[in-house]
Structure 1
Amino acid sequence: MNKFIAIAMCLTLMALMFGCDNAKKIENSYKWPILEGFPKPQVPLDNPMSDEKVALGKQLFFDKKLSANQQQSCESCHMQQFAFAEPLSVSVGSTGTVHRRNAPALVNIAYNKTLTWAHDGITSLERQILLPMFDESPIELGITGHEVEVLARFKTIEYQQAFNAAFPEQPISFELIVKALASYVRSLISLASPFDKYAYLGVDDAIPAAAIRGMNLFFSERLECHHCHGGFNFTQSTGHEQQLIDRRPFHNTGLYYVESSKAIFGYPSKDIGLAEISTLAKDNGRFRAPTLRNIRHSAPYMHDGSVATLAEVIDIYAAGGRNIESGQHQGDGRANPMKSQFVKGFELTPDEKKDLLAFLDTLTDDTFLTSPKHGFNEKE
């Protein structure tokens, strides 16, 4: 081997080793707000967590200057009091474009193995954040075509200081904006609910007896809720430093079975779920199971926000799917042949339903929904 090539390879390897070692040191200095014994989320080596990145990301998340027309920020569709979701069936972009999907809650998203409602290839926040920023169909922040103008807005003294603290000696760029936003969103950890106190801190009276009965129903084979909403994050879409395997958390829940030319295998053609990406018929109507943490505050529900209340969600699963008796999407989802094996229906007494709802309420983390650490204070 040419000695100059060998020297170059050696220097490159040393640089990579130094870079990884430096990233680990930065990552190790960040204190995750997690319970003792809980695994840490996975974080890309090229974007280790730091308090400075989180602070910058938070500032950007709430700033409408990030949209081309300065009409929306990330927070416009992800509001803290609604578990960083919004109380609309589907989102509306900065230009007024009505989207087809409900804004997902950003709860413990650092632990998500997959992101968005129906894409198994988007597994990092750095990649996912590009969609609302630059996507043209539908338009969200609408930056495409306005990159120079938008980026110039962040070259103020205040932002330059914040960027320099987070990314020393690097020029302001969209790459750094994305990294900062990803860091902030990863910091949105919710592990201080009454259920957490009961299950992980051993506080026996942290949840009422009705909720304990509801918990037993939730984790029973009779209801089978835990198959799609299991683990400490109550979603099958979970990954962390001790769990690297993708458990393929996409399911057809029998929400639709439209028998018309405007449907594909029962789901409205405007959104057939994972099949749009995989092109596989078996994936028609499959959407990612969301976390149930803070679920009481993230209504409406389902990928299209078509279910208004938790009580209605339970009724649909108890029936084994949703039967729409009239209207555009008329059809009996209970008969959808692509429906998950876990959505088979069950009987529930009125008291048992109350108990189940009581359990779901124990997944509410009031601190997460109100803490200034996550939210925006105009005096900051």
Structure 2
Amino acid sequence: MTSHMHRWTGVLVSVAWLGTGCGDEKKEEQEPGAYDWKLPAGFPKPRVPEDNPMTEAKVELGRRLFYDKRLSLNGTQSCASCHLQSLAFTDGKQHAEGSTGAIHRRNAQGLANVAYATSLTWANPSLTTLELQALTPLFGTEPVELGFADKAAELLGRLGQDAELASRFKEAFPENPEPVSMASLTRALAAFERTLISGNSPYDRYIYRGEVDALSPAAKRGMDLFMSERLECNHCHSGFNFLDASASELTNMPVQAFHNTGLYNEDGKGAYPTVDPGVIELTGQAADMGRFRASSLRNVSVTAPYMHDGSIATLSDVIDHYAAGGRARQVQGGQLSPLQSGFVRGFTLTKEEREDLLAFLEALTDPQFLSDPRFSDPYGSP
């Protein structure tokens, strides 16, 4: 799920080719075999593409595909190689590493609650469905992730030769004359990823279930700080998902939001490194320099390192970054970037307040999610 600019070779990446689920969404009908969300308290139902309704068979197929190393050309990696359940489906590395050893310029994003995200990469507003996004790791060449590039037929042939897997495709997509197809592959992966919902942290138990002792006194004080106008954290990390760019079936106008947090200011005018300047790379708009998607803070204590390039090692360092009004301000003579968000202006914390804020951020961890067998490797791979 890492996000990068890619060059596509011999692969027709279009809505028509894929049947990606980019159309209007509506409430799926509850039919036999339909997926039972078992949503946590306080969580709305995710939006689901009309042409990819959720079913138990499809989710289970997607789970198996997610952990299947045959989805890499050389058989060394699966989707799960860069998205480990124990790390909230991140990989713990500064930069993700592809199946051929190619090092990515960006940090792998977590997949917790990805069903609610309105954009699915660090800085590409056009990738808005999980079905479409799946093409990036499968076929992208700059950098290589799973490495299939122009070899889509080889991938499908490989999967179709497995009689059990082919049977699962047929069960999940009974309406398709050729169940093992690129459309069904990406739809199954997307269906599984939509089930990765995390909502059983101490914070959830306190807010949504009324367990008054679920949060420690320090975490409660930290929550007040987090939500305060003094720190401004909740402007970009808002709502049940701690992410401003979230949507559900209750959302009328899904919002996409990208932010410049003052991580770099190389020329005093807000410039980011040319290797990865943000949304401007796609839009060409000067105001998009250094703008990246905010990440959900759910399970943030296990998703280090932080930021789009993994350049901040610890949560304590992240607090330093925002307290200083941006890291660029720390290292470049106190100068604010003219392009950074108006919510990143700095603040002062006492030692106790800092500890309280960390206690709150750690209380967003959902231990059940990190080990839930519904999301685990069905093959029991080491």
Judge which range, 360-369 or 237-246, deviates more. Answer: 237-246
Q: Does 1:39 align with 2:40?
A: no
Shift of 1:119: 1.4
Counterparts of 1:216-295 in structure 2 under 5 Å? 216-259=224-267, 265-295=270-300
Where does structure 1 lack aligned partners over 5 or more consecutive residues? 1-19
Paired residue for 1:146, among 122, 142, 151? 151
Q: Does 1:366 align with 2:367?
A: yes
Paired residue for 2:131, among 119, 126, 133? 126
Where does structure 2 lack aligned partners over 5 or more consecutive residues? 1-24
The equivalent of 1:189 in structure 2 is: 197
Q: Does 1:52 align with 2:57?
A: yes
Shift of 1:23: 5.3
Q: Check the 8 A contact 1:27/1:48 in 2, yes or no.
A: no
Looking at structure 1, the residues matched to 136 and 114 of structure 2 have their Cα atoms a distance apart, in angstroms, of: 16
Paired residue for 2:214, among 206, 209, 226? 206
Looking at structure 1, the residues matched to 139 and 99 of structure 2 have their Cα atoms a distance apart, in angstroms, of: 12
Letter of the 2:215 partner, please give it: I
The equivalent of 1:17 in structure 2 is: none
Judge which range, 149-158 or 69-78, deviates more. Answer: 149-158
Q: Check the 8 A contact 1:259/1:331 in 2, yes or no.
A: no
Q: Check the 8 A contact 2:241/2:298 in 1, yes or no.
A: yes
Paired residue for 2:167, among 149, 161, 181? 161
Aligned to 1:282, the other structure's residue is in SS state helix
The equivalent of 2:72 in structure 1 is: 67
The equivalent of 1:179 in structure 2 is: 187
Aligned to 1:161, the other structure's residue is in SS state helix
Letter of the 2:260 partner, please give it: N
Looking at structure 2, the residues matched to 375 and 81 of structure 1 have their Cα atoms a distance apart, in angstroms, of: 9
Q: Check the 8 A contact 2:237/2:294 in 1, yes or no.
A: yes
Q: Which structure: greater helix fraction? A: 1
The equivalent of 1:335 in structure 2 is: 336
Cα deviation digits, residues 251-277 of structure 1 (max 9, x gap)? 1000001129xxx84200111111112
Cα deviation digits, residues 71-97 of structure 1 (max 9, x gap)? 111011101011100111011111111
Looking at structure 1, the residues matched to 27 and 313 of structure 2 have their Cα atoms a distance apart, in angstroms, of: 48
Counterparts of 1:289-328 in structure 2 under 5 Å? 289-323=294-328
Aligned to 2:375, the other structure's residue is in SS state coil
The equivalent of 1:14 in structure 2 is: none
Cα deviation digits, residues 271-295 of structure 1 (max 9, x gap)? 1111112211011001101000000
Distance 1:361 1:145, change over 3 A: same
Distance 1:290 1:21, change over 3 A: closer
Shift of 1:148: 2.2
The equivalent of 2:351 in structure 1 is: 350
Shift of 1:30: 2.0
Aligned to 2:165, the other structure's residue is in SS state helix
Shift of 1:26: 4.4
Looking at structure 1, the residues matched to 184 and 355 of structure 2 have their Cα atoms a distance apart, in angstroms, of: 47
Aligned to 2:196, the other structure's residue is in SS state coil
Q: Check the 8 A contact 2:219/2:359 in 1, yes or no.
A: yes
The equivalent of 1:375 in structure 2 is: 376
Question: How many aligned positions are there?
Answer: 354
Looking at structure 1, the residues matched to 70 and 270 of structure 2 have their Cα atoms a distance apart, in angstroms, of: 42
Looking at structure 2, the residues matched to 108 and 135 of structure 1 have their Cα atoms a distance apart, in angstroms, of: 24
Looking at structure 1, the residues matched to 321 and 86 of structure 2 have their Cα atoms a distance apart, in angstroms, of: 26
Q: CA RMSD in A?
A: 2.1
Shift of 1:203: 0.6
Aligned to 1:315, the other structure's residue is in SS state helix
TM norm structure 1:
0.89
Letter of the 1:248 partner, please give it: Q
Q: Check the 8 A contact 2:148/2:155 in 1, yes or no.
A: yes
Shift of 1:334: 4.8
Identity %: 48
